[in-house]
Amino acid sequence: MNMKKHLILPALLLSVSIGYSQKNKNAYELASPNGQNKIKFELVKNAPKYAVSHGKTEVISPSEMGFVLKGNEDLSSNFEIKGAKTSTFDETWEQVWGEKKNIRNHYNQLVVDLQQKTGNKRKLQIQFRAFDDGVAFRYVYPKQNVKDSIFIMDEKTTFNLKEDGKAWWIPANRENRDEYLFKDAPVSTLDTVLTPLTIESKSGLALSFHEANLVDFASMTLVNTKGTELKSDLVPWADGVKVRVKDSFTSSWRTIQIGENPGELITSYLVLNLNEPNKLKNTNSYFRPYKYLGIWWGMHIGKYTFWESDKQGATTKHAEEYIDFTEKEGFNHLLIEGWNKGWTPAWYENKMHMFSFTKNADNFDLEKVVEYGKKHNVELIGYHETGSNLINYLKQVDEAFALYKKLGIHTVKIGHVGSKLNMKQMHFGQFGVNYFRYILEKAAQYDLAVVYHESIKDTGERRTFPNMVSREAARGQEYNAWSEGNPPNHLTIIPFTRLLSGPMDFTPGIFDVEVKQGYPGKRVQGTVGQQLALYVTIYAPIQMLADLPENYEGKPALQFLKDVPTDWEDTKILEGKIGEYITTARKDRNSADWYLGTLTNEKPRNVEVSLSFLDPNATYEAQIYVDAEGTDQTHNPEAVAISKKTVKASDKLQLKLGGAGGGAVRFKKL
């Protein structure tokens, strides 16, 4: 670690002692290490303002900062600068697991200490960081000589975009949380939207607005206030207060990732870099990336029930059959949903459901299944559906985690179906933020890795807590089982939007894409080639093989799912257009092999990419799985053409994708 102090851009100031009464000395400029991204900070009429530029392009025009506290004391004006410090930081750190092994955290920082001139003379510190892949800032409200609790009623931060652009958005504060289809619209027409919010600006930049290291604060949504101006809209408590704290607070980082093409957003690690280093040193002893099967899809397509019935999915008998199949195909993890007491046919409705997290359903013997699994090298993944009744869950969580620890279960998937937590608080408010962090830290105490469903959005926690392995936090595969489904372009949008926040438990790998055993008319809107591509396109350290065992039985394409890793040394986006297509290459962390995934929206596509990412001194066997000739989502969608050829880094690869199709390649180093 090396942290040295020096003045970064002494445009107006050559000294760190600030003359705060002098007009032109109330302005600072902070540039990223390569000088491309710049933040300008200025006190204008005693109010803090910031602006952002990339090269010669103004990205954010002067915008507001600060908060409104209860009692109408406005923490956004009447300030003077008490001090300012600049520093630079450059460190390369290693991810315990991830989409890239070594990550460089290189930025210049400006910390400005403000104090109000009259009244309670409240202090506010604003920290700015300029990275080569974007900028970030956060607020620190230090302990001060004012004896009161702090109620933040509003955040005044705005993002006054210099120009309009195409925003890829989902709505905020709705019944289904973040499980919505992304749409595109001009920034100037947006209502309240969730982050990450990705914008293709008129001048051709790719921007993503999000936050990092969200702790004991409300999550930020964005609302269009006027023109192309977006404003932070913190998700409130049930009583309307946005954030309640005692003496001090530190907001999450407000992040703006800036790329010259949308693919650069995916290989930006700015959000992770703004989280604290790993606090858990022992996760390697209980969590390594893996692939898993599950008694799961059967419930979604109506073959099984979650609840006790003659069609119950989670029976000891089914579990043993699934364990046999999992072992036979060479996998080691199995998720079983609905194993416990408390499930009813109306389990997903908004009610205070009373699940038990320790008692087996009648036809399911957890200890026996765990033992059977151990004999066959298959570890169970624990499952807790809270139904968002956290009062019930928190009463049992210690006992439930202790049970898993005793049984040697090291991952727990935790669901939070319901529009509000405890039918009262929004998932994304400060209450939810604190709840999800509390459970994550508690799970670590029991050597448990966590997969959240219906959770708060990811803000990079996995860097600090590498037991935070994956989450849903978007419309996943399940919607293809029982809703109108995810249209093909969904998969070409989420890599540039939702997936910027972190790993997703999308649950790919449906081979019976027409879902012949499911509800009439419901299906996956794509080909098996597209499903294969998802294992490379979507990054997650755990990936499900979501389909029923009988749909994998004897399928040659299953070999790709056996081979594809879930832990990577490096990631490259070879090409991509939001809503149209994406081609991703990743290098395995534990071998010399590379993998490629490519998929397209409803339009067929001829992919041609350079293989220059391969080692130039090596030869590879390309094992190619792609839509068979004439295949698309409505014509023979399960047909995958499998072929092999020898390739080098100087070659180009051509793949022909059908509509809603895709392909996947393993480059095995020879």
**What are the catalytic residues?**
478
Strands 134-141 and 253-259: antiparallel
Q: Is 408 exposed, middle or buried (0-12, 13-18, 19+ CB in 10 A)?
A: middle
**3-state SS of 49-111?**
EEEEEECCEEEEEEEECCEEECCCCEECCCEEEEEEEEEEEEEEEECCCCCCCEEEEEEEEEE
CA distance 389 to 393: 6
**3-state SS of 168-199?**
EECECCCCCCCCCCCEEEEHHHCCEECCCEEE
Tokens 């200025």: give the residue.
Answer: 42
Instruction: Give phi and psi for 155, each to the nearest 5.
Output: -105, 135
Task: Name the residue type at position 118.
Answer: T
Question: Please, are residues 384 and 439 in contact by the beta-carbon 8 Å criterion?
Answer: no
* Cα separation of the two ends of the chain: 38
List strand residue ranges (DSSP E) for 253-386, in order.
253-259, 290-295, 333-336, 379-385
Tokens 């491309």: give the residue.
Answer: 36
Strand-pair partners of 50 = 41, 63
Give the residue from 234, 260, 262, 223 showing the smallest Cα distance to 494.
262
Tokens of 313: 């999915």
